[in-house]
């Protein structure tokens, strides 16, 4: 029987791209690992968007349309990897 495939793409706060993770993030990543949920990080992709002069964040955590496009690319790679 086939079940529902699940993966996670947690995205960081903007300040986490240049510094340490927020306290909840390691807990989330540990929990996902314990549940065997594949996790795809968006950190490097968001850093690249910033370096390219894009504005992926509207504020400290909420994404702009450009930021959502970055996350969509990460999700597309995750879906491709799951095939």
Within 10 angstroms of residue 74's Cβ, the number of other Cβ atoms is 19
Which of the two residues, 4 and 58, has the higher pLDDT score?
Answer: 58
Task: Tell me the β-bridge partners of 44.
Answer: none
pLDDT band with cut points at 50, 70 and 90 for residue 1: low
pTM of the model: 0.85
pLDDT of residue 21: 84
Measure the CA angle with vertex 43, ends 7 and 27; round to 5°.
60
Over the stretch 18-69, which tens digit does the pLDDT of each residue have?
988 888 889 999 999 999 998 999 999 999 999 999 999 999 999 999 999 9
């Amino acid at each position: 029987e086939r079940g529902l495939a699940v993966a996670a793409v947690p995205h960081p706060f903007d300040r986490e791209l240049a510094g340490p993770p927020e306290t909840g993030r390691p807990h989330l990543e540990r929990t996902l690992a314990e549940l065997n949920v594949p996790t795809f990080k968006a950190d490097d992709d968001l850093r690249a968007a910033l370096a390219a002069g894009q504005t992926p964040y509207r504020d400290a955590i909420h994404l702009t349309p450009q930021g959502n496009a970055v996350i969509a690319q990460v999700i597309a790679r995750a879906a491709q990897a799951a095939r």
